[in-house]
Structure formats: C-alpha cells, structure tokens
Amino acid sequence: MSITVSLYVENHVLYVNLNGELDHHTSDQLRSRLNTVMGESQIKHIVFNLKHLDFMDSSGIGIILGRYNQLKSMNGTVMVIGMKPLVSKVFELSGLSKIIKVIEDDSQLESAIRGIA
C-alpha cells in the first residue's frame, strides 16, 4: 500500500489530496513534497482532503500537527476535509479535532475558506 499525493495552490492556500494509506513510510514522502511546495510558494493555510485516505496512524497525526505548528506562528490554519469514519477515530482519539477544523464536505469548504482568506 502506498500513497498518492496531489497538490495545488490557490490564494496562498495549499490543497493536499491524499489517496491511499498514511503511515510512517508514506508520511516521510508526503513531508518532503510539502516542504518543497512550501519553500517555493507563500503558503498561509493548508487544506488536507482525506476523502480517499483509507488508513492513518500516529504518523499521520504527526504530520498534520506539524503543519499546524508551522503555520500557527503566521496566523495560518490547517483544515481537514472528508475524513472516513475509521480515519476519524484515530483523529478524535488523538485530540486533534480540538485544534484543527474538520469539514464534512465541499459545500462547507467554500465558506470555511472565505472565513480565513
């Protein structure tokens, strides 16, 4: 099992689409992709789209929390959209939902983006 990462940037928001499984191995791959993009463009907010993420363990929590800490210092935010129930269980257990905005679907995304832009 691997991960497919697709990224795009719009108005200083980095959209990260994840497809597959996020563990220690694949989070290292993801981290270097994110670092490259964040070095090249001015990123203020990140939206992780987890609609197609089938598995996540504490390594996934670590990478999301890491980006949150990185952006917090410049008043940026991290949002997570479309989590499957099994993924959201680890997310809830870790307490991440207390500090990271969780969005159910695309219809809520637009207003959430307007809120931070």
Ligand X SMILES: Nc1ncnc2c1ncn2[C@@H]1O[C@H](COP(=O)(O)OP(=O)(O)OP(=O)(O)O)[C@@H](O)[C@H]1O
Residues at the interface with ligand X (CB under 6 A): 58-59, 62
CB closer to ligand X out of 59 and 88:
59
Q: Give the one entry of another protein, ligand X, none that residue 66 binds, where binding means its C-beta sits below a cut-off of 5 to 8 angstroms depending on kind.
A: another protein
CB closer to ligand X out of 95 and 115:
95
Are the CB atoms for 83 and 91 separated by under 8 Å? yes
> What is the closest distance, in whole angstroms, from the C-beta atom of residue 111 to ligand X in the complex?
32
Return the beta strands (E) in the chain as ranges: 3-10, 13-22, 45-56, 78-81, 101-103
> What is the closest distance, in whole angstroms, from the C-beta atom of residue 104 to ligand X in the complex?
26
> What is the closest distance, in whole angstroms, from the C-beta atom of residue 11 to another protein in the complex?
26
Question: How many other CB atoms are there within 10 angstroms of residue 26's CB atom?
Answer: 22
3-10 and 13-22: which strand pairing? antiparallel
CB closer to another protein out of 5 and 66:
66
Residues 6+ apart with CB under 8 A from 93: none
Q: Give the one entry of another protein, ligand X, none that residue 89 binds, where binding means its C-beta sits below a cut-off of 5 to 8 angstroms depending on kind.
A: another protein
